[in-house]
A and B are shown apart, each in its own frame.
Chain A
Amino acid sequence: MIPSRPATDAWSAPLRWLHWLVAGLVLLLLGLGIAMVHAPMAVGTRFELYQLHKSLGLTLLVLMPVRLALRLHGASPAPHGPAWRRRTARIVQALFYLLLVALPLSGWVSASASSLRVPIRWFDLFPVPALAAPDRAMESTAARVHLAAALFLAALVVLHVAAALRHHVIDRDDTLRRMWKGRA
């Protein structure tokens, strides 16, 4: 669980930027993930969407340790509300950090272990090494972990957005504003 540091009532600009950047990435990755697996499309288009999904996922994997380091080293505003909601907020935040590392990692392992051995290239700019040799059991385990984590993440996003809206609309506190604008 991530400790709160009540020394401040504002999020630092880098953490706010990272929050919205990661939020955008997550929505894009979830949408892409569903589309590339389920939507009917040309083989070439599907291939390109998978490659884009990998590039975006690897970007997320690079951003998350930076975000975590900033979060752990700087001061963070405490959640509002009664104790049980503050505790829930911290658990949800910790789960986000966990899932946002586990998802790209499991995706990377799954893509690496695939028998297709499609070379991973970050936005077609440079090669990214495979984490494993082709292995059907490993691929299918990693893919199952990836799917389960994605579904869990999607549920958490819904919960997170609902809570933020509740703070903003019902509680009328600065929870959403301070993430959007910094100091309320």
Chain B
Amino acid sequence: MPLRPSSSLLRGFLPALALAATLGASASAAGDRLRIDPARTAIRFEVPSSLWGTTRGQFTRFDGRLVLDFRQPQRSSVAFDVEAASVTTGSKSVDDYIRSEVLFDVARFPSMRFVSRSVEKIDERSAWVTGELTLRGRTHPSRFLVAVERRKDGRALLSFVVRGQVKRTDFGMDAGVPVVSDEVTITVTTETAEP
């Protein structure tokens, strides 16, 4: 899947950046620390299979922290802790399979973690976030494309669409490969009030 920001996102972020620049003086040197609001956040994944189409699911329990620095984007950072057992596809038996020892092995590895190591601005509306993803006790570098859109629904909001692909064999999750794709697409959508 091409990791290209959509044109609506391209249009939206310019004013956001302008506003952020004017507010920048009030921001702390380390940027603004924000707690991810779970009610406004979704962590979704999809994994295609040659036998039964694409399985889609999400994680319902997680904790995320975000540091935004628009003046120096490279100083921005993000960290997510996700409870592995909170995976849900809408089918209890499929969820139990994903939680079992052949995939997430939640009994031994209850949490998944992403910690960013660098933020690289692409343009005014998008950035690459590179960091370390830890699943099943294995840590592997991974990269996500972040698209930012400024919205004004009564109050100024920044919405983020984060997208990336993870090879599950990197983390020892080889069950079903190649009938079930090795590549899993992860999409995180969230929003926050403009700092």
Residues of A that sit less than 8 Å from B by CB: 42-48, 51, 115-119
Q: A43-B52, A45-B91, A119-B101 are in contact. List 16 more A-B contacts (CB 8 A).
A: A42-B91, A43-B53, A44-B90, A47-B94, A47-B97, A115-B174, A115-B175, A115-B178, A116-B175, A117-B102, A117-B175, A117-B176, A118-B97, A118-B102, A119-B100, A119-B102
B153 to chain A, nearest CB (A): 35
B residues in contact with A119, CB < 8 Å: 97, 100-102
CB contact between B93 and one of A47, A115, A116, A117 (< 8 Å): that residue: A47
**Is B17 among interface residues, defined by CB-CB distance under 8 A?**
no
B residues in contact with A115, CB < 8 Å: 174-179
Roughly how many angstroms separate A46 CA and B174 CA in the complex, as a whole number?
A: 21
Roughly how many angstroms separate A27 CA and B53 CA in the complex, as a whole number?
A: 30
Of chain A, the residue at the smallest CB distance from B97 is A118
Counting chain B residues whose Cβ lies within 8 A of the other chain, the interface size class is 20 to 34
Chain B 90-109, CB-CB to A under 8 Å as 1, else 0, gives 11111001001110000000
CB contact between A47 and one of B91, B102, B177 (< 8 Å): that residue: B91
**Is B118 among interface residues, defined by CB-CB distance under 8 A?**
no
Most buried by A among B89, B97, B177: B97
B residues in contact with A46, CB < 8 Å: 52
> CB distance A44 to B89 under 8 Å?
yes
Task: Rank and list the top 7 A-B pairs by shortest CB-CB distance, nearest first.
Answer: A44-B91, A117-B102, A117-B175, A116-B176, A48-B93, A47-B93, A44-B94
A residues in contact with B66, CB < 8 Å: none
B residues in contact with A48, CB < 8 Å: 91, 93
**Is B180 among interface residues, defined by CB-CB distance under 8 A?**
yes
Chain B 175-189, CB-CB to A under 8 Å as 1, else 0, gives 111111000000000
A–B pairs, 14, beta carbons within 8 Å: A42-B91, A43-B55, A44-B94, A45-B91, A47-B91, A47-B93, A47-B94, A48-B91, A51-B93, A115-B179, A116-B180, A117-B175, A119-B97, A119-B102
Of chain B, the residue at the smallest CB distance from A50 is B93
Of chain A, the residue at the smallest CB distance from B90 is A44
Roughly how many angstroms separate A115 CA and B101 CA in the complex, as a whole number?
A: 14
A residues in contact with B102, CB < 8 Å: 117-119
A residues in contact with B177, CB < 8 Å: 115
A residues in contact with B89, CB < 8 Å: 43-44
Most buried by B among A45, A51, A117, A119: A117
A105 to chain B, nearest CB (A): 22
> CB distance B175 to A44 under 8 Å?
no
B167 to chain A, nearest CB (A): 16
B residues in contact with A51, CB < 8 Å: 93
Roughly how many angstroms separate A45 CA and B91 CA in the complex, as a whole number?
A: 8
Roughly how many angstroms separate A46 CA and B52 CA in the complex, as a whole number?
A: 10
A residues in contact with B90, CB < 8 Å: 44
A residues in contact with B176, CB < 8 Å: 115-117
> CB distance A116 to B179 under 8 Å?
yes
A47 to chain B, nearest CB (A): 5
A residues in contact with B101, CB < 8 Å: 119
Roughly how many angstroms separate A44 CA and B55 CA in the complex, as a whole number?
A: 10
Of chain A, the residue at the smallest CB distance from B100 is A119
Of chain A, the residue at the smallest CB distance from B180 is A116
